[in-house]
Amino acid sequence: MAMTGVLRPGFAQVRVLDMEKSLDHYIKRIGMHHVTTGTDGRVYLKCGDEFDHHSLVLRKADHAGIDAFAFKVASEADLDSFEKRVIAYGYPVDHVAAGEQPGLGRRIGWTLSSGHRIELYAHADLSDPKPMIHNPDVWTVEPHGMGARRMDHCLLYGPDIEKTLDFFEKVLDFKCAERVDMPDGLLAIWMSCGMKAHDIAFVKHPEPGKLHHVSFELESWADVGHAGDIITRYDISVDIGPTRHGITRGQTIYFFDPSGNRCEVFAGGYTYYPDSPTRTWDETQIGKGIFYYERQLNAAFLSVVT
């Protein structure tokens, strides 16, 4: 399939209460690499299997949560055409100059009715470490910690997700891989811009702009087990897992960063094709959809967000 338009998740900018503890968490434990620290104190991190400059931005703030989630698009022309389409849909678009984040070109951004800021950009410098491209070894720098290979997706909580689904399908050309419908309406959506089961997901929630988790991909189920060992060894606050999601089929652990932002590491998940029918879940099986082995939601799933 030709990949055009929105290629993939680019970066998440997350607010943290304590930068030093957060760097230990994302670098030593999850296994990311420090790329650079900006003059305003924001810190730019990447995973070892990513080419682009960075995939996580940490900003020190007095409260936790997410500032923005950004996607990379294929070309500058795509950026211009998406800007027109977003405006035509009714969201005002603003511009962020190239270099506002080191290593990135110009960005466009807007706020969804769910309260979340989404950004698009077409250019990212490469940074080290990155995968080799000639006679490539499986990694350039030996994986450490949980060995996260990439920042993979996020799950956001906010109101009005019917409109968010409509917007991502009509304006950004995403497909809905899975959805949960409750007797009182749509509860959750998992949407893909490529061939992963999801690149972004939303759950209906009364308070706008909330973060449920940012997720990092690991190579295997064995790596998910190793991540579980690290979580206990370093007394990281765990939410649930190792377990599996029925939705997307990912093998997973949910845990918290030192500011209370939920992180996920996961492996697996099915391949999504753009002509795959949307998989649907109802109230009777939602527990199995979210946590396949426990077959029920834990108390934190619908209520604990930052």
Residues of the shown chain interacting with Fe ion in the complex, contacts defined by CB under 5 A: 215, 264
Question: Which 287-306 positions form the footprint of other proteins (CB under 8 A)?
Answer: 299-300, 303-306
The residue within the footprint of other proteins, chosen from 7, 27, 28, 67 (CB under 8 A), is: 67
Q: 22 or 215, CB closer to Fe ion?
A: 215
Q: Does 162 bind other proteins (CB under 8 A)?
A: no
Please, which residue, 251 or 259, has the CB nearer to other proteins?
Answer: 259
Q: From 211, 210, 212, 162, select the one nearest 186 (Cα to Cα).
A: 162
In the block, which residue shows the tokens 């022309």?
77
Strand partners for 68: 13
Of Fe ion, other proteins, none, which one sits near residue 264, judging by CB under 5 to 8 A according to partner kind? Fe ion
Interface pattern 226-265 for other proteins (x via CB under 8 A): -----------x-x----------------xxxxxxx---
Among 20, 128, 166, 207, interactor with other proteins by CB under 8 A:
207
**Plot region of 299 (φ>0 → left; ψ -120 to 50 → alpha; else → beta):** alpha
How big is the CA angle at 184 (ends 197 and 248), to the nearest 5 degrees?
Answer: 10
| 265: Cβ contacts below 8 Å, ≥ 6 apart | 30, 146, 148, 215, 216, 217, 218, 223, 224, 227, 252, 253, 255
Name which of Fe ion, other proteins, none residue 50 binds, using a CB cut-off of 5 to 8 Å depending on partner kind: none
What is the contact surface with other proteins in residues (CB under 8 A)?
13, 15, 17-18, 40, 42, 59, 61-68, 96, 100, 109, 111, 115-117, 206-210, 237, 239, 256-262, 299-300, 303-306
List the catalytic residues: 153, 198, 213, 245, 254, 264
